[in-house]
Structure 1
Amino acid sequence: MKSDEFFSLVRSWLTIFLPRARRLSPHTIRSYKTALNTFLVFLGETRSLKLDQVGFDAITYSSMNAFLTWLMDSRHLAPSTANQRLAAIKSFLSYCAGEEAALVAVWLDVKRVRPARAPEHAPDALGMAAVEALIRAPGQQTRRGLRDTTMILLLFDAAARIQEVLDLTVADVITAAGGGQVTLTGKGRKTRTLPIMDKTGRHLEQYRELFHPGASVPGALFFYTIRAGQHQPMSQDNVSYLLNKHADTARENCPEIPDHIHAHQLRHARAMQMLRAGVPLPHIKEFLGHANISTTEIYASADNKMVREAIQKAASTTPDLAPIWKGDDDLILRLAGLK
């Protein structure tokens, strides 16, 4: 099929089917749009395809597997986020197959692509030294530096998801000293109002004076980018890019910052900090906007693991004692209750 037919189906899917037939939220539709835009970037970078050359013949089992790998290796997305992009494109192709019988084969081919496997591990929270280095990295001497500093600080302080910060409006931010707060809209359109540090409030106020001078429109997006002279929403991928760019700078002073980072590591870091400060799990659950406390309990498990590792490290300097058991390593671990 020609590119005009491809983009015609894209338009009807995004503007008619998803909002009217499926009645999906603007947030979900924006996520689907991001997935398609990212796929077009992938085709341009790896297949040298211009937009007027893109058609359904570029969407195959092979290209979608390559796209999934590219998202994680080149865009540094977490497997869960990469899988969301894949699911969005599968949803689009399912719609196309219903509109045009000739596309059923394309849909069935891509449907076979398996999601990336996410490794099971405790939350990969950044240490506080890494958080502080990352917040300082953009500097505040430039307009963009001030914006990036403010966004990173808010992502940490409010333990917010990227999209929750990107959806903030001017009216959602209150910066009064001693009473600063932000109202975030999370999954399922549920809102929660969170207190923020006075330091964060001062940065947000400074940002607002520069980026929303004069009489601000309450419904205007707090963070935005400018394209063609107009304020436009920022994408999650854009935030991921700037985080890793500043991480490269911060790593010079803080080697513990991993090679690739993502915004959720700031959210994890804030949750771990609250837990160690003695904040009860039910309060952390509400702060993070978790639907179920079992999701929050993973932070307690992670903290116990860190304590155990610290104990083991300290014990490594003590003299070796006679072994309690001898034999196969696996058997010993099982007898010790470690397996």
Structure 2
Amino acid sequence: MSKTDDRALIERFLEMMRAEAGAAGNTIAAYGTDLRLASEVLEGRLSEAGASALERLSGEWQNLARATVARKAAALRRFFAFLADEGLRKDDPGAALPRPGMARALPKVLSIEDVAAMFAVIATRHARVPLDPLDLRLAALIELLYGSGLRATELVSLPRNAVAPDRPWLILKGKGGRERLVPISDRARAAVAMWRDHVAIGRPWLFPSGKSHLSRVRLYQLVRTLAAEAGIPPDRVSPHVLRHAFATHLLEGGADLRALQAMLGHADIATTEIYTHVDSKRLVELVNQRHPLGEALDAARVDAKPDAS
């Protein structure tokens, strides 16, 4: 790839950060600077850099503050993940970048009440006469995002018949070409069936738009508009946040972490542990109530109290 290719790909990545991730302006500016500087160090070949090139690049950061190194490495890791997601690279060399040991920020969290408010808006729209088919599309999109934890790219690019009315699951090929089985709720299948009746039989996509399928940017806009209508600050909501809510709420309901890892398509269980943030108070209560030593410890505390007499 040429230096021109690097510039174009960096701009595409930053546009995705603006539209989908809802990143702050300062973050986007910092990432843009970090990526362009890295491209210069690697003589315009950042997009095709391998592990050895990234190790050489990180060697240039030795005298920088840990926070700065963490930000630069995070920017490059997200950039390479984006290239892999878009099919522009077959590999992701991000593992070669340093990790200064800083704590990773937890994803934004939506409560069950927040999600219920969004579905209440959809229900209100469905009660309109005449019914707008685009409201059926919105229902299918949100049901699949929150009910199955699909990534935005996976969702918008679903084939027309990917969700079968008599099959409560589908098989997806996600990051790195890994296949995974994704459960589809009865509600989601019903919503998809209602929407699919409005999709021409000859169209290859479940969510067509123009000559292709719905874009991730448009999906992001639809989700934010719905959040605002539900009284939720739009900057708190995105397709990725709904995927996170799917995982968080399942885990809070007692789901197994390994099962979530499989459903989310994470190669590393550590990613799932961060992704599925659980309230620390609930974890403390869980240990106190369920740990086999709980009752024994409580009894020991009673026995240790001085005699009131």
TM-score normalised by length of structure 1 = 0.54
User: Residues 79-158 of structure 1 correspond to what in structure 2 (within 5 A)?
Assistant: 86=32, 90=36, 120-138=104-122, 139-140=125-126, 141-158=131-148
Matched, 1:225 2:209: yes
- 1:76 paired residue number: 22
- 1:205 paired residue number: 193
CA contact 1:165–1:184 (8 Å) conserved in 2: no
**Equivalent residue letter for 1:145:** D
- Give the share of equivalent positions with the same residue, in percent: 24
User: Residues 50-69 of structure 1 correspond to what in structure 2 (within 5 A)?
Assistant: none
String of CA shifts for 1:159-211, please: whole Å, max 9, x gaps.
111111122112422122xx322332211122222121111101101111111
**Equivalent residue letter for 2:178:** K
Structure 1 residue matching 2:194: 3-state secondary structure: helix
- 2:280 paired residue number: 305
Change (3 A) 1:183 1:272: same
Change (3 A) 1:306 1:238: farther
Shift of 1:259: 4.1
CA contact 2:22–2:235 (8 Å) conserved in 1: no
Matched, 1:293 2:269: yes
CA contact 1:167–1:185 (8 Å) conserved in 2: no
**Equivalent residue letter for 1:237:** V
String of CA shifts for 1:90-112, please: whole Å, max 9, x gaps.
59x779958xxxxxxxxxxxxx9
Query: For the aligned residues, what is the CA RMSD?
Result: 4.3
Matched, 1:250 2:225: no
**Equivalent residue letter for 1:76:** G
String of CA shifts for 1:18-44, please: whole Å, max 9, x gaps.
xxxxxxxxxxxxx959817949xxxxx
Change (3 A) 1:115 1:134: farther
Change (3 A) 1:86 1:167: farther
Change (3 A) 1:190 1:117: closer
Q: Which has the higher contact order (CA 8 A, sep 6+)?
A: 2
- 2:55 paired residue number: none
Long gaps (5+) in structure 2: 46-60, 62-67, 76-102, 287-309
Aligned residue pairs total 227
**Equivalent residue letter for 2:229:** T
**Equivalent residue letter for 2:236:** H
What is the rounded CA distance, in whole Å, between the counterparts of 1:180 and 1:32 in structure 2? 38
- 2:238 paired residue number: 262
Give 2:183's match in structure 1, choosing from 179, 195, 208. Answer: 195
- Greater shift after overlay, 232-241 or 263-272? 232-241
What is the rounded CA distance, in whole Å, between the counterparts of 1:287 and 1:75 in structure 2? 21
Give 2:216's match in structure 1, choosing from 226, 232, 236. Answer: 236
Change (3 A) 1:232 1:242: same
User: Residues 273-284 of structure 1 correspond to what in structure 2 (within 5 A)?
Assistant: 273-284=249-260
Structure 2 residue matching 1:120: 3-state secondary structure: coil
Long gaps (5+) in structure 1: 1-8, 15-30, 40-67, 99-111, 312-339
What is the rounded CA distance, in whole Å, between the counterparts of 2:270 and 2:44 in structure 1? 39
Shift of 1:284: 0.8
**Equivalent residue letter for 2:162:** D
String of CA shifts for 1:249-301, please: whole Å, max 9, x gaps.
011xxx5x56431112111111122212222111111011010111112356x
CA contact 2:21–2:240 (8 Å) conserved in 1: no
String of CA shifts for 1:65-111, please: whole Å, max 9, x gaps.
xxx8xx38x983479x959x949x859x779958xxxxxxxxxxxxx
Change (3 A) 1:198 1:143: same
What is the rounded CA distance, in whole Å, between the counterparts of 1:201 and 1:290 in structure 2? 24
What is the rounded CA distance, in whole Å, between the counterparts of 1:173 and 1:90 in structure 2? 42
Give 1:180's match in structure 2, choosing from 168, 174, 182. Answer: 168
